[in-house]
């Protein structure tokens, strides 16, 4: 055994990094080889071509617009003014009669409408049998030339 002087600290040779580097390189080679071998399989699909040149008609959408207008809201159904939500519900139920599938509804609401009124409008539309609807926020109305 090596004799050390009284104040001499034995030298630390450190960790032998060679076996760890061998393992890292083996893992690297393994992943490179398996990644190049495993290619995703692709399914070839032959899609049918159209024999008629007629496009299918898009769904007729019902458009409900709701804007505040003083103390009474301005409600329209397909650009036709409606006095209140009850009348809107009756008109929409008439639209749904005789249809096996109700069309989707676009609900256009002004940003300043309180949330409880939005929920009441959605409930009216759903109670009329229209379960598919989209909500849109209306852009600010610009004043007409005579209003200035």
Per-residue model confidence as pLDDT tens digits over 72-124? 888 999 889 998 889 988 988 888 787 777 788 888 888 888 888 888 999 99
Give the fold, CATH level 3, of 62-141.
Answer: Nucleotidyltransferase; domain 5 (3.30.420)
pLDDT at res. 16: 82
Using a 10 angstrom Cβ sphere, with 0-12 exposed, 13-18 middle and 19 or more buried, the burial of residue 27 is exposed
Per-residue model confidence as pLDDT tens digits over 6-52? 766 666 667 788 889 999 999 999 988 887 776 666 666 665 665 66
Count CB-CB contacts under 10 A for residue 10.
7
Q: What are phi and psi of 55, to 5 degrees?
A: -85, 150
Distance CA 77, CA 65 (A): 7
pLDDT at res. 28: 94
- 33 contacts 27 by C-beta, under 8 angstroms: no
pLDDT at res. 145: 46
Distance CA 54, CA 44 (A): 27
Selection from 73, 93, 71 nearest residue 83 by Cα: 73
Residue 148 pLDDT > 50 = no
DSSP bridge partners of 136:
108
The residue ranges of every structural domain in the chain are 62-141
Count CB-CB contacts under 10 A for residue 118.
15
Residue 146 pLDDT > 50 = no
Per-residue model confidence as pLDDT tens digits over 50-64? 566 565 555 578 889
Alpha carbon separation from 38 to 27, 34, 35, 114, 118 (Å, rounded): 16, 6, 5, 57, 53
* Paired tokens of 148: 């200035």
Reported pTM: 0.54
């Amino acid at each position: 055994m090596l004799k050390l002087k009284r104040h001499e600290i034995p030298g630390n040779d450190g960790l032998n990094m060679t076996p760890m580097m061998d393992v890292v390189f083996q893992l690297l080679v393994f992943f490179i080889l398996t990644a190049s071998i495993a290619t995703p399989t692709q399914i070839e699909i032959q899609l049918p071509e159209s024999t008629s040149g007629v496009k299918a008609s898009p769904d007729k959408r019902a458009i409900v617009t709701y804007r505040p207008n003083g103390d009474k809201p301005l409600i329209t159904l397909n650009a036709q003014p409606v006095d209140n939500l009850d009348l809107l519900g009756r008109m929409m139920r008439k639209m749904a009669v005789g249809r096996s599938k109700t069309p989707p509804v676009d609900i256009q609401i002004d940003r300043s409408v309180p949330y409880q009124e939005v929920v009441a409008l959605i409930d009216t539309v759903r109670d009329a049998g229209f379960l598919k609807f989209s909500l849109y926020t209306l852009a600010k109305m610009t004043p007409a030339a005579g209003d200035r």
